[in-house]
Amino acid sequence: MIEYLNKKPNARESFKLMKDWDNVANSDLNEQAKNMYQNHRVDCDLKNIAKEKSKLKLLAFLRYDYKKVLIRTRYLYIDQIFDIKEKKLKGDDLNFAFFEPILICFPNLEFLGRIKFPHLYNPPQRDTLGILKEMLNQIGSGYKEYSKDLVKWHRHSLSHELRPSGNWIYDLNTEDKYGPPKKINGSLLYLNIPHFIDTCILEIEKICDGLTEFQNEVIINNFIEYISKAEKDR
């Protein structure tokens, strides 16, 4: 697991297995965070991390705990059943998944959005819709262009265990169709699941990179603002 946690995808390039991803940027802070993980000392108490204003603990939590959920998802539904010789996924019906990764990806983006855009989180108005749209807009490309439909057709329907509404198609293709959402056949919204998982992992890494930048206090301050609001909402 530690090997994958120290790598990050490049969603602008072609599909790659996780083992072939680039390593995360090396830094003293990351070495300390990695050490915390290897010694089972990652602090998952978000209230405590905010109280201590600890960039180190937030980095350790995001990269070495929170990121594990998406790495495991990526491994189970993509890497584990990828045939290297034929360069595509192989398996039976039990191996393939469509809704499950998306159920994990959207809440992931929502949490990251609360850290990046705490001004949108003002309980009792949590503005989940606005936060998710802002995250997708920031990602850009087809995620921005179809942010409204992605949230409406996928996030809301799936969170209530309903079949997604609208005209859509999911695909686990790891070959030529790996890329951001797009419209196909005139009206179908095409969502490539491997690319969506990788994009969510990359958003975690963008925050982690920001935490390792010298004298960059924006992310930790945003995190503290979010946790302060969340505590008042309880």
Mind listing the pLDDT tens digit for each residue in 9-64?
999 999 999 999 999 999 999 999 999 999 999 999 999 999 999 999 999 999 99
Mind listing the pLDDT tens digit for each residue in 187-201?
888 999 999 999 999
Q: How far is CA 28 from CA 3, 9, 61, 142, in A?
A: 18, 22, 16, 36
Domain residues for the domain of 41 are 2-232
**What's the whole-model pTM score?**
0.93
d(CA 27, CA 170): 38
User: How many folded domains does the chain comprise?
Assistant: 1
Cis amide prior to 194 (ω within 30 degrees): no
